[in-house]
Amino acid sequence: MELTLLLLVTAVGLCAILCVYVPIRLLLRRGAHVPAVGRYALFFAAIGLGYFLVEITLLQKFGLFLGHPNFALSVVLASLLLSSGAGSLFSTRILKVFRQQRFVSFALCALLLCESLLIFPVLPRL
């Protein structure tokens, strides 16, 4: 099991290097200029880490609720992909409603807080 996990991490790391790092290096070698590369890298790494943290939490909670890890994985991944796609589709409309980007962040944090305080305590009784 541990060897399989190490091989998976290695494969994902190599794919990330081939699909992200190599094209960026090729663009920079051709003369493309990207200001504040480190800031963008930190921003997208933080978004990815936050997404993983929410995903892992939901997998643990729904794994207990649904009774099997495969069911939890299917439900959580499908709902996260669907909601991410819907968020991308309606992002301009959402920004028009909230006027500023930071208010959208506040609303998302409030939604996650309500979920953890109101919905997660009810799951074991269902």
CA angle 73, 122, 59 (to 5 degrees): 15
pLDDT band with cut points at 50, 70 and 90 for residue 1? low
Give the Å distances, CA to CA, from 59 to 20, 65, 81.
27, 10, 14
The pLDDT tens digits of the residues spanning 14-30 come to 988 888 888 888 888 88
The pLDDT tens digits of the residues spanning 80-118 come to 999 889 988 988 888 888 777 778 788 888 988 888 888
Return the higher-pLDDT residue of 5 and 11: 11
Question: What pLDDT, on a 0 to 100 scale, did the predictor assign at position 90?
Answer: 87
pTM score: 0.63
